[in-house]
Structure 1
């Protein structure tokens, strides 16, 4: 683009007959006349027009061929409203005007809460992972992808309490998917967060129930270990069985002793029947001693405990069994409380009502090419005016400086 040299209309510097200003004369103060400036701009209108048109053409080329077009998708939903009987509403109604003075006026509305949730890092990371935005944005770090997504997403709560989710992207389908993805992620986050009193109760009982479940499992393992070590399964029944077995052994021993006495009256000690009877009596007596006093001789898997150890073993078993029953009772109570809290939460859970789901935009939302071209032309106009005005002034200053030297 050829630029004409600006025509100086401020007048030539006064010179003497030799063509140079006399050095002993003081410089007169330069005065700028608006009429002269207007005449200067008019004489150099072609140069100014060249600047303006050139800048406008450059802006148009950038808008049409360099900057990619963008599309805007919007989704609108209605956040849950405060229930008429909620604690905060009743408290604010009772305090009246004092509520605002006391700080109740600073309570966040549901819209403000959900705006904060939408802008949270958790939802951003969910969308980045779901739509592979780190690859789409060519971001090396997750934080860079979060910054780009945050820049392209806008959340606005209107005076009508509706919240609008706006997403700008170069792909119209991805813009609509991201806007709807915000709604889906908000649904999931809303289900995890305890935003109501019943929800907080549900979370508390859920944690306590999980903890008590582990404690009950540990108590059951301890009871099983005690049963394996002592052989006690049912203390009362096993004690009765042991007593009956001992009584039977004693009866058998007595019967054998009576038979032995009868044999000894008619036979010698070397009689085979006498020897066999004595051997049987010794075997029965040995078995009786094992059952009464020797726990180490208890056969594996046997449910018969030594009678001398029955009180001690039964006490250990009862303690473990009592621990299991305690945790079972506590677990049942917590389970009922948990189910009650879940029912309350289902009745009072905040319900997100989607007004408009995002659709694929069929028109470009940017860049505004006409505005960019007009802005470029205006910028070129300003540069052209400055060029026309400042260049002659700089030339005059340079000439005057050379005369002074």
Structure 2
């Protein structure tokens, strides 16, 4: 239990304030001196300049001609541009190792950063680069720090060039794969269409002798079977890009299941043949004709995508050579040094007051 004498020895808040006021010159002079020292030290640090550029990734939409064709593709409508990159993906491309490697070679960053290993040069580049994606407008901003203002601007602009090259190559490769695939499918369907046409002509059938009701039924069924085949083609293309557990694969499997169920309810689960009379011959012909039209349109869209350069990055603000340094912030140095020294001096005074009170009561 504390005695009255020990309680009296405990300094109060008023005692602390009096001690601080008694040494007000030290409380003011020491932080001011520290801030001046910090200001002088900041001049020893080589300044850093920041250059920035902003661009808008290609929008996820088809050109006018392609959009019109897509409207009538049915089961294949989602194929063209199904793997277009979003803003998040383009931001990832900027930070990708492939782009970083090209930047290291382009600006000889091993020498600039005085690093022996490419890994360390890439790490320094990553620490000097900031990539932000606007959530509302989708604009990507790239900021690069460097001690040379011109090199900072050149590197910021080079990021856009390297991402453009990378995405153009990726898009071209994907379009080439789709074009080659649909080209083979188109040849197969063309052969089958010719065979169906020959079978229909061999049965003595002409469109003028088909009655309205059988014709409507046959065309509806042929359209469903063509959509089923087109859906299976799309499933094959998607499996080249996604795992079987991906939502795109599962949705396509569900769509194929529904089409098969509708065909089964129509009593036509098996492919039609030309041995069932003129209706079967006409049905087979209309099926192959509808399928040929779907595959041909998708093939043309793949050719259009292949002829493009992967979409243009729209540069909003080009990188300019910065006129002012971004670091070090001398005012921050001074404020931090002033505040830290002021706290240290006040603590020193408080500790001294406690010691003096302790000696006095001992």
Q: 1:63 and 2:37 equivalent?
A: no
Quick check: 1:116 aligned with 2:92? yes
Q: 1:344 aligns with which of 300, 305, 313?
A: 305
1:161 aligns with 2:141: no
- 1:370 maps onto 2:341 in alignment: no
The secondary structure found in structure 1 opposite 2:326 is coil
Partner of 1:174: 151
- 1:186 paired to 2:163: yes
- Cα pair 1:51 1:383 within 8 Å, conserved: no
Superposed CA deviations along residues 281-312 of structure 1, whole A, max 9, x for unmatched, are xxxxxxxxxxxxxxxxxxxxxxxxxxxxxxxx
Quote how far apart the aligned CAs of 1:134 are. 0.8
Task: Give me the CA root mean square deviation.
Answer: 3.3
Q: Number of residues paired by the alignment?
A: 229
d(CA) in 2 for partners of 1:178 and 1:123? Answer: 11
TM-score where L is the length of structure 1: 0.50
**How far has the Cα of 1:371 moved from its partner?**
2.3
Structure 2 residue 179 is the aligned partner of structure 1 residue 200: no
Query: Is the counterpart of residue 73 in structure 1 residue 34 in structure 2?
Result: no
Show the counterpart of 1:148: 124
294, 309, 314: which one pairs with 1:353? Answer: 314
Deviations 1:181-229 (A, max 9, x none): 10111111011213xxx852414667999xxxxxxxxxxxxxxxxxxxx
Rg bigger for which structure? 1
| Corresponding residue number in structure 2 for 1:46 | 25
* C-alpha spacing 1:32/1:340, structure 2 compared with 1 (3 Å): same
Equivalent residue in structure 1 for 2:109, among 126, 130, 133: 133
TM-superposition CA deviations, 1:356-398 (whole Å, max 9, x none):
2211111222211122112211111111111111123235446
SS at structure 2 position matched to 1:41: helix
TM-score (normalised: structure 2): 0.56
| 1:104-152 CA-partner distances (Å, limit 9, x unpaired) | xxx9972111000001011111001110011110112211111111111
Secondary structure of the residue aligned to 1:28 is helix
For 1:130 and 1:53, locate their aligned partners in 2 and report how far apart those are by CA, in whole Å: 46
Distance change >3 Å, CA 27–CA 122, structure 1 → 2:
same
Aligned equivalents of 2:33, 2:108: Cα separation in 1: 42
Structure 1 Cα separation of the partners of residues 113 and 95 of structure 2: 19
| Alignment CA distance shift 1:58-1:131 (3 Å) | same
Within 1, Cα distance between the matches of 2:29 and 2:147?
34
Is the 8 Å Cα contact of residues 128 and 134 (structure 1) preserved in structure 2?
yes
1:83 to 61, 70, 76: 61
Structure-1 separation of matches of 2:338 and 2:153: 35
Alignment match, 2:12:
33
| 1:170 CA displacement | 0.9
SS at match of 2:102: helix
Alpha-carbon distance between aligned partners in 1 of 2:313 and 2:19, rounded to the nearest angstrom: 66
Matched residue of 2:7: which SS? coil
Q: Residue 50 of structure 2 aligns to a residue in which SS? A: strand
Q: Report the Cα distance in structure 2 between the residues aligned to 1:46 and 1:378, rounded to whole angstroms.
A: 16
Name the SS for the 1:73 alignment partner: strand
Q: 1:273-292 to 2 correspondence within 5 Å?
A: none
Tell me how far 1:26 sits from its aligned partner: 7.0
Name the CA shift for 1:341/1:60 in 2 (closer, same or farther; >3 Å). Answer: same
Long gaps (5+) in structure 1 = 1-23, 91-106, 210-336
